[in-house]
Amino acid sequence: MKKYVILGIVFLIVLTPLAAASSNVMNAVKNGVKQAGVSQEDFTHTVLAEYGTTTTCPYCVTASGQLYSIYNSGDLDFYYVSLVYDQGNINVRNRLKELGVTSIPDVYFDGGYRRLLGAQTDEQPYRNAITQCGLRSVPDIDVDVNVEWKGGGTLKITVNVVNNEPEDYNGHLRVYIAEKESRWDDYGGNPYHFGVLDIPIDRSLSLAQSQQQGSPSPLGDTYTFRKTWFGGLYGFSDITKENIVVIASVFDPDSGDAVETAAAEPTISGGSVTPSSQTQQLFTAVKILYSQFISKILLNN
């Protein structure tokens, strides 16, 4: 298994120069017209950018700086996550595989509605891609995220998804746990921002229409999912409340495009985890993971 992971990393690194060389051609095709006079108030939804990278990629240093600069400016309504292939866990690598990342830097906006491959000469191609995504028509879906800090690297995550459409909606929910300033540095020695530690929720959802036919009363269907995430199980018991953000996105299952994104930082609430209760919760989580592991072995046999 380790051999395949190493080969995958080498494959990404080898193809990086090709990606950088071809970026100008791709940008000319995908970002030909600059959006002028557009503000984030014109956006139909909050955009998500997923940034594929490795710590050994020299061209990614520029991409990291440009994405963070745009985010810090506050000009555009978007979040981004850094999917660091050679540091992320299996859920992060699986997401990169789903997106189709083979060369880096590679940035997917709204799940691939727009994609920019290779190093960019300045911020404008990224800004154009975010704007083009933000102005497109999407289903009227609301996403709300709540994160409770339980101490010891433990988070209690609640995500509510509401369908405001007059018809049923089927989608896919992904939730990213990220460090605002990552523990991992890029090739230039600078910390990544919004480096993803895990994707603990990755599942389909089904929402009924917002109101019954002929009824004036709104009956918007709400999908609620709760997840207690134990960072210690993944080697992240040292995370801090101030440095964590949880980002949730709903994707269209057919096109793979994101239709709405929301985020929240942890808050302290009553009933925080005590040492004894934390131990019990960790023990329960380990039992669940062990049971799932045994079940997979039995199914494969």
List pLDDT tens digits, range 166-205.
999 999 999 999 999 999 999 999 999 999 999 999 999 9
Digit-coded pLDDT (tens) for 39-82: 678 999 999 999 999 999 999 999 999 999 999 999 999 999 99
Q: Which tokens hold the place of 132?
A: 């083009």
Taking the alpha carbons at both ends of the chain, their separation in whole angstroms is 19
Q: State the pLDDT at residue 38.
A: 66
Q: Domain residue spans in the chain?
A: 2-134, 141-176+198-300
Task: Single out the residue of 107, 99, 249, 97 nearest to residue 172, CA to CA.
Answer: 249
Q: Does domain 2-134 have CATH number 3.40.30.10?
A: yes
172-183 exposure pattern, b = at least 16 Cβ within 10 A, e = fewer: bbbbbbbbeebe
Q: Which pTM was predicted?
A: 0.78
Find the mean pLDDT for residues 208-216. Answer: 61
Strands 78-84 and 47-53: parallel
Which residue in this structure is represented by tokens 């920019």?
116
Q: Are 47 and 78 in contact (CB under 8 A)?
A: yes
Helix ranges (DSSP H) in the chain? 2-30, 60-73, 90-99, 124-134, 275-300
Q: What is the reported pLDDT for 73?
A: 96
Q: Which pLDDT belongs to residue 287?
A: 43
* CB of 80 closer than 8 Å to CB of 67: yes
141-176+198-300: CATH number: 2.60.40.10
Nearest to 193 by CA among 207, 203, 206, 179: 179
